[in-house]
Every structure is written in C-alpha cells, then in structure tokens.
C-alpha cells in the first residue's frame, strides 16, 4: 500500500496542533480501508477493538431501542473521528456504523487511544468536543421523535442532512449521500408510507425533488418554515 501523505490529516481538528513528524507517526500506525455503500464497519455491542477517522464518504450511525427498533441517530462527515468508544469509557461500540456512500476510513488499534490522548496536543480536547456535539444531536433527535408532529420531524431531519452535507446544484441544495425514504423513516420514527406521502406532497409544492436514493431541497426556506411550525 502506498505511504499515506501527511496532508490527509493536516488541518483536521483532532490533529491541527501537530507537526508533520507527529502526523507521520500517527499515519504509520494507521490502516486504510475502503467500504462499499451499505457495508457495516462495526456493529452495536461489538468489542471496540479499533477507532476510526473518516477520510471520504458518509456514514449512518444506527442505535437499537429497547423495543428492538433500529433508529438512524447521526450521520458522520469526512474528517471526523468515529467508533471512539474509549472516550465514553466503554469496551463495546454504542452503535452500528454503516457506510451511507462509498467511504474510506483510517483506523488504529484501541490500545493506542491512551497514547494519542497523552502525547498529541489537541487530540483529546477536540475528541471530547465532537463527542459532546454528537450526544447533543442524538438527544435532539430522540426529543423530536417523542414530542413533534411527523411533518416537523421529517423536515428537521432533511435540514440536518442539508446542513451537514448539502451542495449547491442548479435545482437547489442536494444531500450529498444516497438517502432512501426508508432511511428517513428510520431517522424519524415514522412509517415508510408517511414519509413517501410527505415527500410526494412536498415535491408537488416545489419544496423538494425526490428520486431513488437522491433528495434535493428546491425551496430551503419553505422547509425551514415546516421545521419550525407549531403543533
């Protein structure tokens, strides 16, 4: 395998305070792997033997409820750490990570976690900042599912994906990774039929364009209004 270049990590928050020699050490200890869309990188409750950095692509993070229901609670963007069970003082993964698109990730043995946090300035602080943001996002998602009307939940879910990965296209703002109506159902705790009905109505109203595994928001302001509507 070709030697990984230091520029892969330069400027990424967990490594932004490091010099090239330190980044070289980190890369020399890493394994790089490509994951096809739909591949499970690790499963909830598996032994946490590695931690990861997403270089390219997008991931879905799935949790299982006490009732056995699968819920998509997060999407992970390039440049972010994931599978960071040691930051939670866990020896198992708290969720399942699935490649939402073709993805490339680096990983390291979990035994190096303590060494990384002790030796590399900024690694620990940025990791715990990321962890706090994700826990906040998960709590927000679960609160929406428990308290908000379905239309508002779906609008909020689409806006989160647009904010995280949206790219400008002539029609509006496109979600950068493949997304199905079933995925949105799993994110919002509603039925596939309801999601399909909402997206069809919003497409008719000129708010979104929805095709197989592809969504573009054509009227972002209207979607924001829907996400803020009172019950």
Residue 231 reports pLDDT greater than 60: no
- pLDDT at position 59, please? 96
Tell which wins on pLDDT, 100 or 228: 100
- pLDDT at position 67, please? 81
Could you tell me how many residues make up the chain?
A: 231
Highest mean pLDDT among 38-52, 61-75, 155-169, 184-198: 38-52
| Burial degree of 156 (CB within 10 A; 0-12, 13-18, 19+) | buried
Tens of pLDDT, residue by residue over 15-72, are 999 999 999 999 999 999 999 999 999 999 999 999 999 999 999 999 988 888 888 9
Q: Locate 99 and state its tokens.
A: 């490649």
- pLDDT at position 174, please? 95
Helix axes 181-188, 192-204, angle to 10 degrees: 110
Cross-sheet strand order for the sheet of 214-217 = 167-169, 172-174, 214-217, 208-211
Calpha distance 56→212 (Å, rounded)? 22
Calpha distance 52→84 (Å, rounded)? 7
- pLDDT at position 68, please? 82
> Between the CA of residue 57 and those of 102, 103, 132, 190, 199, what are the distances in Å?
6, 4, 22, 26, 25
Mean pLDDT (the chain, rounded): 92
Most distant CA pair in the chain, distance = 56
- pLDDT at position 2, please? 62
Residue 230 reports pLDDT greater than 70: no
The answer to whether 148 and 231 are in contact (CB under 8 A) is: yes
The answer to whether 58 and 101 are in contact (CB under 8 A) is: yes
Which domains does the chain possess?
6-139 (2.60.120.10), 148-228 (1.10.10.10)
- pLDDT at position 184, please? 94
Confidence grade of residue 217 (pLDDT, cut at 50, 70, 90): very high
């Amino acid at each position: 395998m070709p030697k990984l270049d230091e520029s892969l990590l330069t400027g990424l928050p967990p490594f932004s305070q490091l010099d090239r020699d330190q980044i070289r050490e980190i890369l020399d200890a890493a394994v790089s792997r490509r994951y096809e869309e739909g591949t499970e990188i690790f499963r909830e409750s598996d032994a946490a033997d590695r931690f990861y950095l997403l270089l390219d692509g997008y991931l879905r993070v799935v949790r299982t409820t006490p009732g056995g229901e699968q819920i998509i609670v997060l999407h992970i963007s390039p440049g972010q750490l994931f599978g960071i069970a040691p930051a939670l003082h866990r020896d198992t993964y708290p969720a399942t990570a699935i490649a939402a698109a073709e993805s490339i990730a680096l990983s390291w043995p979990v035994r190096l976690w303590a060494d990384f946090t002790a030796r590399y300035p900024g690694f620990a602080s940025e990791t715990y900042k990321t962890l706090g943001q994700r826990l906040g996002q998960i709590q927000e998602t679960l609160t929406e599912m428990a308290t908000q009307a379905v239309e508002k939940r779906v609008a909020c879910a689409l806006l989160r994906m647009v904010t995280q990965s949206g790219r400008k296209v002539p029609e509006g703002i496109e979600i950068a990774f493949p997304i199905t109506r079933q995925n949105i159902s799993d994110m919002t705790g509603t039925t596939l039929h309801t999601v399909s009905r909402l997206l069809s109505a919003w497409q008719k109203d000129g708010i979104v364009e929805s095709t197989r595994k592809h969504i573009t928001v054509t009227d972002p302001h209207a979607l924001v209004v829907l996400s803020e509507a009172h019950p």
